[in-house]
Each structure stands twice: as structure tokens, then as C-alpha cells.
């Protein structure tokens, strides 16, 4: 998978987390929410340009998530 697509997927996920966190705040900052949502939409638009097939986008996102969840292999000691 393209490194740019991976970076865009990670950015989209981070923006989703930020939006959820802001919505969960006692007094959400609506201007910040608007900015975060615009950034998330712009990120999604870039993703669609690079991965136009929605099914491929889903597969790419799942592969990235699986890779992020599995711990990196440790080097064997000599």
C-alpha cells in the first residue's frame, strides 16, 4: 500500500478521535468541531482520489489497522 494512503488513513482516524473527544466535552467548541470536520472531509477527499474504489479503501484501512495492532517483531539476540 502506498505510504501516502497510509498517512491519510491515519490522519482520518486521528481526526475522528479528536471530533469524538470534542463532542464528549462538557462544552464543545463548535468552531473547533467545524474545523476538524472540514479537515476530515478534505482528508477523505484525498483518499478517494488515491483509492477511488471504496472497497479497496476499506481493505487498505483494515490492513493498516491490523499492522498497527500487531507488535513489531523483535530482533533475535545472538
Overall pTM surpassing 0.85 (yes/no)? no
Q: Which of 12-16, 22-26, 48-52, 53-57 has the lowest mean pLDDT?
A: 53-57
Higher pLDDT, 34 or 52: 34
Taking 60 as the threshold, does the pLDDT of residue 78 lie above it?
A: no
Q: How does residue 72 score in pLDDT terms, banded at 50, 70 and 90? A: low
| 72: alpha, beta or left? (left if phi > 0; alpha if psi -120 to 50) | beta
**HSE of 62 in the Cβ direction (CA atoms, 13 Å)?**
6
Amino acid at each position: 500500500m502506498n505510504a501516502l494512503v497510509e498517512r491519510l488513513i491515519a490522519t482520518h482516524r486521528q481526526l475522528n478521535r479528536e471530533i469524538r473527544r470534542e463532542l464528549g466535552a462538557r462544552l464543545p467548541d463548535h468552531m473547533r468541531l467545524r474545523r476538524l470536520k472540514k479537515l476530515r472531509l478534505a482528508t477523505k477527499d484525498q483518499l478517494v482520489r488515491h483509492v477511488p474504489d471504496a472497497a479497496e479503501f476499506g481493505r487498505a484501512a483494515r490492513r493498516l489497522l491490523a499492522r498497527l495492532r500487531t507488535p513489531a517483531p523483535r530482533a533475535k539476540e545472538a
